[in-house]
Amino acid sequence: MVGHTKIIIRTVLYFFLIIFTASCALKQEKLSADTDNTEEANKRFAYGICIDSLAMTHHMIEKGDHLSSILTNMGFTGSDAEQITRTISPYYPPSKLQIGNRYAALTTRDSIAAIQYLVFERSRTDFAVVDLSGDTLRAYESSKPVTLQRRYCEGTITSSMWNAIIGSGAPPLLALKLSDLYAWQVDFFDIKQGDSFRLIYDEAWIDDTTYVEIASIEGAVFTHQERDYLAISFEQDTVREYFDEEGNSLRKAFLKAPLDFFRISSRFSNARFHPVLKRYRPHHGVDYAAPSGTPVKTVGDGVVIEKGYQRNGAGNFLKIKHNSSYTTTYMHLSRFAKGVKKGSSVKQGEVIAYVGSTGLSTGPHLDYRVHKNNQPVNPLKMEIPPSYPVKPELRDSFMVVRDNMLQQLDSLQQAWQPNVLTPDSLSQNVYTQSL
């Protein structure tokens, strides 16, 4: 009996020893892992590279700088510079270097100070890296981590939209984004004192310390002449659009071209050889070759703001204002459609004139031009997706998004107290999320 008891005691002690040993091993493993995590957390990184043992110097691309001269000034031989150029070109072609962009050299902290990495910033967020630390030269592209910070602002217009946005504490460029958003609903050259806005928008930040840009407007209410215009951001068919409270698109699409049958005879260019003047000059339009008398249609709803004749230029021409952002011009016309005059309202697809060869022209064609915010844009590269309403199968989802956004706008309006907030806190951060 006593012997049996001793056997039991030895067995228990044996298992206890095993458990104790395993527990100690686990604690040691956990301690080692915690130490590794602490060491990893304490490491310093820049451009995704650990720089604890490296020295980093920044430089600015100046006028006259080329990649070859930059590399030569850093001490690289001609063959090394050529190899680096060839390696980085797929990620950052030398022709794309821009004055004012930064680049950095990461070198060893010793008397040799050998360059281990070269970093060229393409923008405030994107950059290309040349890795010289290994046996094989390699390059890659990356970007700085960006987070979105959601903001709210509101204001009443007393002088201009620009001043009202600044007065709300928001970035001035928000005024341009807001005018683009409502371009088809509100003429921002005709806004009145007392018009107002409320909006929620996202700002992009690097490391929560460096402001990058306004990422998007998520929801807005613009009150113009006592009428509320709602804008809700919603995605369908992988395209993010803005819709009103009924799910109708805020944007109206342009026709792809102002003619039904045509051949493009000259494209948008900053230096086209003029067939009559025999010299190079900008051609900020598209020439559509077509027989004389071919009907010309307006690409969108609008108002005729100019109708005239230029003998040594556009010949018979029309200019149509579509909204506060876009105007289109139609030149070298043979004649105008009946009833079209300055101040006339026209509808998309309406015949406004006919192809001709008036003015400075060598043959019948239409010179078609588009301006956005008074700047010429290439009509063939305009990214204007079709303006469809919310699809029936997505309507319930849209209504949820709409109601949530309206609730947020209303609750933030009630909390808004611009008279007691400092200028730095006028934009109220609702939440921060990672991209």
Query: How does DSSP assign 302-338, residue by residue?
Result: EEEEEEEEETTTTEEEEEEE-SSSEEEEEEEEEEEPT
What six digits make up the tokens of 56?
Answer: 């980093």
Amino acid identity for residue 273 in this structure:
F
Domains of the chain: 46-143 (3.10.450.350), 147-253+394-434 (3.10.450.350), 263-381 (2.70.70.10)
SS3 152: strand
Residue 238: predicted pLDDT? 83
- The H-or-E segment that residue 100 falls in is none
Instruction: Give how far Cα 257 sits from Cα of 9, 288, 337, 368, Å.
Output: 95, 9, 18, 9
Residue 422: predicted pLDDT? 35
SS3 362: coil
Q: Whole-model pTM?
A: 0.63
| Residue 329 to residue 374: CA distance in whole angstroms | 12
Residue 112's Cα: distance from chain center in Å? 43
SS3 314: coil
Residue 430: predicted pLDDT? 37
Residue 2: predicted pLDDT? 46
| Residue 215 to residue 429: CA distance in whole angstroms | 14
Residue 434: predicted pLDDT? 39
**pLDDT averaged per 10 residues, the chain (length 435):** 52 51 52 50 81 92 92 92 94 91 93 92 92 93 90 90 88 88 79 90 87 92 92 90 92 81 71 55 81 92 93 91 90 94 92 93 90 88 75 95 94 65 37 38
Residue 268: predicted pLDDT? 60
Angle at the Cα of 64 from the Cα atoms of 76 and 143, rounded to 5 degrees:
70
